[in-house]
């Protein structure tokens, strides 16, 4: 299957993408991984992307599209893939359609993980990271440490990343509404959109998505 996963920040796209890709035996292709791989391998696209990132600028669509195209042409993606974070806007969605059409392929579904805005803010703004080890992650509501501000695992101090502050989260949501949300209507017009309520246990959300895909 060829699937695109969309949804606001904090909807659980990365978590769901990993489970769905495993269940469907297709590679999970995330924009973050594409950038990291191209930069670490020092590809031409990676060098160009890094120059923009180092200057604090957004990476142009053509570079992101080029990275996605290269990745989708890898042997493990011949029989399908799950895209997470790409396309990010309508022009990228149009470029993806063109790529697939040229290769004689098409998307099977676009899964939209639906979460209320206040829930997104609660999920992200409540996150706390251990200063000693960023893999130790807690949440003030959903996974509270035994002692406030102290990591259960190593006793390190827990803190809120600047990216996780409520003001930053609301700004990221605004960017999502402006840039990415229009692709929902774009794919709805093609009859590809499947909306999945993303509240509840991770396994329940995955099951909802799998059931929707079977239909």
200 is known to lie in a ligand binding site: yes
- Contacts (Cβ under 8 Å, ≥6 apart) of 209: 16, 20, 111, 194, 196
Which CATH number fits the domain 2-214, given the four candidates 3.50.50.60, 3.40.50.300, 1.10.150.530, 1.10.10.10? 3.40.50.300
Asked about 69 being catalytic, the answer comes back as: no
* Per-domain residue ranges of the chain: 2-214
* pTM for this entry: 0.87
In this structure, the strands spanning 2-6 and 127-130 are unpaired
168 is known to lie in a ligand binding site: no
Question: How many residues are given for the chain?
Answer: 215
Residues 146, 152, 158, 160, Cα dihedral to 10°: -70
- Pairs from 44-53 (Cβ < 8 Å, separation ≥ 24): 45/70
Query: What's the pLDDT at 215?
Result: 81
Q: pLDDT tens, position by position, for the chain (215 residues)?
A: 999 999 999 898 988 999 999 999 999 999 989 999 999 999 999 999 999 999 988 899 999 999 999 999 999 998 999 999 999 999 999 999 999 999 899 999 999 999 999 999 999 999 999 999 998 999 999 999 999 999 999 999 999 998 899 999 999 999 999 999 999 999 999 999 999 999 988 899 999 999 999 88
Sign of the four-CA dihedral 115, 107, 47, 57: negative
Asked about 161 being catalytic, the answer comes back as: yes
Q: Catalytic pick from 50, 69, 172, 188?
A: 172
Residues 37, 41, 45, 51, Cα dihedral to 10°: 90
Q: Catalytic pick from 13, 71, 123, 208?
A: 13
Asked about 172 being catalytic, the answer comes back as: yes
What is the enclosing helix (H) or strand (E) of 38?
Answer: helix 31-40
138 is known to lie in a ligand binding site: yes
Asked about 131 being catalytic, the answer comes back as: no
CB atoms within 10 A of CB 168: 15
| Alpha carbons 12 and 14: distance in angstroms, whole number | 6
Asked about 127 being catalytic, the answer comes back as: yes
| Alpha carbons 188 and 193: distance in angstroms, whole number | 5
> Residue 73: which region, alpha, beta or left (left: phi > 0; alpha: psi -120 to 50)?
alpha
């Amino acid at each position: 299957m060829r699937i695109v996963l969309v949804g606001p920040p904090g909807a659980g796209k990365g978590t769901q993408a990993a489970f769905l890709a495993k269940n469907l035996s297709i590679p999970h292709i995330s924009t973050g991984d594409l950038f990291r791989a191209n930069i670490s391998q020092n590809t031409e696209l990676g060098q160009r992307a890094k120059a923009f990132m180092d200057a604090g600028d957004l990476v142009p669509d053509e570079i992101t599209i080029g990275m996605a195209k290269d990745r989708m042409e890898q042997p493990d993606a011949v029989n399908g893939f799950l895209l997470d974070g790409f396309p990010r806007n309508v022009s990228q969605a149009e470029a993806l359609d063109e790529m697939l059409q040229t290769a004689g392929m098409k998307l099977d579904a676009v899964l939209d993980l639906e979460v209320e805005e206040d829930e997104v803010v609660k999920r992200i703004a409540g996150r706390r990271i251990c200063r000693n080890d960023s893999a130790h992650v807690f949440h003030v509501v959903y996974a509270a440490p035994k002692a406030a501000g102290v990591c259960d695992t190593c006793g390190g101090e827990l803190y809120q990343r600047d990216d996780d502050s409520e003001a930053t989260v609301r700004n990221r949501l605004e960017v999502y509404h402006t840039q990415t949300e229009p692709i929902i209507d774009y794919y709805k017009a093609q009859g590809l959109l499947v909306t999945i309520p993303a509240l509840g246990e991770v396994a329940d959300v995955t099951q909802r998505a799998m059931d929707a895909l079977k239909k």
